Structure 1
Amino acid sequence: MQHAAQARLRKRQEPSRRHDGVGKRQPAREAQVTPAQQEKAVSEEEQRQFAIQRIYTKDISFEAPNSPLVFKEQWKPEINVGLGNTVNKIAEDTYELVMKVTVEAKDGDKTVFLVEVQQAGLFAVQGFQPQELDALMGIAAPNVVFPYVREAVSDLVNRGSFPQFVLQPVNFEALYAQQMQANAQQQGEQNPTVQ
């Protein structure tokens, strides 16, 4: 019985002759990695760090200059949203990202409400090249801080007794790519090539 099971197993492992050898098993090629290379890769990975140390509000403001009269009127506000980030180096491996969001609702020339929030994150960053660091602080850090900004803005608008307002998702990777492209164009304009 045991011989029959082994024969079936061998038969499954043999390439099918009906497919002209398609599906033949070939031995895997092993990558030649020396212990020193493995150790170097592990130590480099251990040295790389991107960690949230703190998330905090730096500045917050809500204005509704036409309250309570605005609640008696029918209005269809035009809402403008402004978003900007600033990165500050706090210490050797510590960076602060400050995200500033301004939301202004206007009805004609009247300001219905104005919300300004500066939400910040403190990040420990180690082991990254300058270009990688720029990408982390331009993409990853804003993705961490943005949900806190969204919550603060929604809460302030709600406390002002206005209809619910939720900031829509932001593609920080696309914004970062646009910023890098704009910087490259600006560099090209400042340093024209002479022919």
Structure 2
Amino acid sequence: MADQDNGAAPQTSEQTAEGAAAPQIRLHILTQFVRDMSFENVLAQRGTGGEVQPDVQVAVNLDGKKRSAENQFEVACKLNITSRNKESKDVLFVLEMDYVGVFHIEGVPDDQLHPYLLIECPRQIFPFMRRIVSDVTRDGGFPPLNLESIDFVQLYRQEIARRQAAQAQPADA
């Protein structure tokens, strides 16, 4: 049997039951790069004897902003990683990295753009940051540090709560 065209437009998955089109979100990573990085092997500079048991602390700071080109945004993820000896608390190494992704984003409503920039964009570039951290720590004379996954949703919620607490504090004083 041959298909017949009855003149009706084919319904796509983008259309809802009411017939309105759902927003089509598009995210493209245009580029990503290390803006700044520093690795300091304190252990090698100082020298140490005996066995070392590392305790690694990772701090993450995110920043997103609009670029001059239409629909382009820049998201910076700053990592500050400090490894200390569990027993003596001596610093073993410090790694600081500012990693940036440039994104072309379309279809995200304005009221959802801020969380999208600080949750979804870092999620897209995180595997590349993880690889760099692993390579740098290995090349710096330590076992490769494989970062655990970062919950960017929780990180975003914590930052919003911190900002709300900071705004409320002067009013209480």
Whether TM-score is above 0.5 comes out as: yes
- Verify: 1:152 aligned to 2:127, yes or no: no
Q: How many residues get paired?
A: 154
- Verify: 1:166 aligned to 2:146, yes or no: yes
Corresponding position of 2:121: 141
Please give the alpha-carbon distance, in whole angstroms, between the structure 2 residues aligned to 1:98 and 1:141: 9
Q: CA deviation at 1:69?
A: 5.7
Query: CA RMSD of the aligned region, Å?
Result: 2.6
Which amino acid in the other structure matches residue 74 of structure 1?
E
Q: Which structure has the larger Rg over C-alpha atoms? A: 1
Please give the alpha-carbon distance, in whole angstroms, between the structure 2 residues aligned to 1:187 and 1:88: 22
5+ residue gaps in structure 1? 1-30
Q: Deviations over 1:161-180 (max 9, x none)?
A: 21232111111112222323
State how 1:25-174 maps to structure 2 within 5 Å.
33=18, 37-38=19-20, 41=21, 44-45=23-24, 48-67=25-44, 70=47, 72-91=49-68, 92-107=70-85, 108=88, 110-174=90-154
Q: Deviations over 1:26-83 (max 9, x none)?
A: xxxxx975xxx45xx17x53xx422211121111211113316646432223322111
| Conservation of the 8 A alpha-carbon contact between 1:100 and 1:118 | yes
Q: Deviations over 1:149-171 (max 9, x none)?
A: 11111111100121232111111
5+ residue gaps in structure 2? 1-15
- Aligned in 2, Cα 1:181/1:163: closer, same or farther, shift over 3 Å? same
- Aligned in 2, Cα 1:132/1:71: closer, same or farther, shift over 3 Å? same
- Aligned in 2, Cα 1:109/1:185: closer, same or farther, shift over 3 Å? closer
| Conservation of the 8 A alpha-carbon contact between 1:106 and 1:112 | yes
